[in-house]
Amino acid sequence: MRLQYVLLLAAAALGGAGSLHASTYYVDAVHGSDSGAGTSPAAAWQTLKRVNAAHFHPGDRILFRSGDEWQGRLILSSSGDAGNPIRVDRYGSGPLPRIDGAGKAEEVVELRNVQYIEVRHLEITDRGAGPAVRRGVLIAAENFGTAHHVVVSDLYIHDVNGTNQRKDNGGIVFLTRGDKIPSRFDGLIIARNIIWKTDRTAIVGESDEFRRTRWFPSLHVVIEDNFAEDIGGDGIVPWATDGALIEGNVVLHCNQRADTYNAGIWPWSTDNSLFELNEVAFTRGTFDGEGFDSDFNSRNTRFLYNYSHDNDGGFMLICTPVQRDQRENYGNTGTVIRNNVSHDDHTRTFNLSGADQVTVENNAIYVAPHDDVQVLLVSSWDGWSNDALFRNNLFDSAGLASYGHQIARNPDGTYQIAPGWGGATGIRFQDNRYCGRQVDAPSDHRADSDPKYCAAHLDWTEPAFDPHHPEQYAAYLRQHRQWLMRLFTAQFGASPQLGTPRPYSNGKA
């Protein structure tokens, strides 16, 4: 986590004068009583209804007994203050406290119009008889103004069978709306959560503050070290943010049930986003189906040191409708894709579709044997891209690598291509290295095909995590980060020099 975000957490942890009057409340589903004071384990409350009805004060803690289970919803409507957040956590030993929406809750945990609040160490599930709008956690700021310091971490969210007809449900949803009072988050941290078997999205934003005529993005958003697997649609999608950091997440097996346009990790209507040290694998389908996507109404998106592999749709989509709309589409300008590894991604590596001022440099692309991959597909989305530089990349094909532009799209979402870049302009290749079979390779200034660059002997055997055992996640996270750093060091010759988020622009479009 970068320094400025650490400072946000540290400020909350220091406490202040208000914490001298703070209380700790205990909730015990077996031995508690709602008639008790709640302020000791012996006088614990029993039900979610009692917690939901209480008004809490800055610095208060609400602790759920480990190993217990509650059915229903946890609705928190009190705020802390700067340096004295309200904290929800567990007490005692054993499995995480479990809150089960039993398929009846639209959101199991609701944080609506609150700030200076932290929620940790809960198990959350919400499986019904059939799909419906369901969310493990909803974090919402609606006609509230700016909600500061909201932390959701170390949760185990699973079996939430939301509807795959809407992206704004699934694991964790952060929502901003402000038709009367512009609203956003400043200091939203979503970290170290396990999200498993959810529909449609693992972690997603939703907002009406994305329009450039009323641009009011959330600031200091961190989505870090989360694990998502077996997801109906998309993995992680920040929305209406400026300067967001998306780091260290592992996203596996997305688009398992939505079967439409979904990808692993991607932003929409964001500026200055930084994606680094994420892994995405096994995304299903070829309507998109990429591991990563730099999407539209966004500027200056950066992808550094990410690992993509075995995604049906490929590594990276870089896209926007070319027709700009000052109200809803600023286009997609200034994407940087640097020091990433794509290993055995299928169908297409880069799909450049309408975006401009794109830089793709120092990436390593490995095409699997028996794969026929469009390493660069240039396609049209109401028009063609302008200005893209591909520099100092390794294109290592053990199968077949091809390059070209769209001449037709097939019913399954794949493309038929022809040599050249179609209507796109300013597509330049410089100092790239090529290995294996390359079809219609681009004209490249100082291209290199020296065999010494080919067939790199890298360790692709990474640590594994079984979501049945959430207690093992911390150890897995450490092992995975160490393995990933070794992979990038072996590939690029030095340890990753991690960047920092670009300074946000204080919500100015």
Full-model pTM:
0.94
103 part of a folded domain: yes
192-196, 209-213, 300-304, 371-375: range with lowest mean pLDDT = 209-213
Asked whether the beta carbons of 376 and 349 are under 8 A apart, the reply is: yes
471 part of a folded domain: no
155 part of a folded domain: yes
pLDDT digits (tens, 9 = 90+) for 1-19: 454 444 444 444 444 445 5
368 part of a folded domain: yes
List CB contacts of 428: < 8 A, sequence separation 6 or more: 388, 389, 390, 391, 445
Neighbours of 507 (CB within 10 A): 17
157 part of a folded domain: yes
Asked whether the beta carbons of 203 and 234 are under 8 A apart, the reply is: no
What is the 8-class DSSP label of residue 213? T
pLDDT at res. 80: 98
482 part of a folded domain: no
Res 104 pLDDT > 90: yes
Domain with 288 in it: what CATH number?
A: 2.160.20
Average pLDDT, integer, range 99-113: 97
The Cα–Cα gap between 366 and 280 comes to 15
pLDDT at res. 327: 74
501 part of a folded domain: no
What is the 8-class DSSP label of residue 84? B
Percent of the chain exceeding pLDDT 70 equals 92
Q: What is the mean pLDDT of the chain?
A: 93
Please state the domain count of the chain. 1
Residue 472 is encoded by which pair of tokens?
């093992």
pLDDT at res. 507: 45
pLDDT digits (tens, 9 = 90+) for 321-370: 998 887 788 999 999 999 999 999 999 999 999 999 999 999 999 999 99
250 part of a folded domain: yes
DSSP of 375-395: EEEE--SSS--EEEEEES-EE
Res 141 pLDDT > 60: yes
Per the structure, the complete domain to which residue 86 belongs is given by: 3-462+488-492
Q: Closest Cα partner for 189 from 210, 218, 162, 209? A: 218
C-alpha distances (whole Å) from 425 to each of 332, 355, 403 are 16, 11, 15
Percent of the chain exceeding pLDDT 90 equals 87
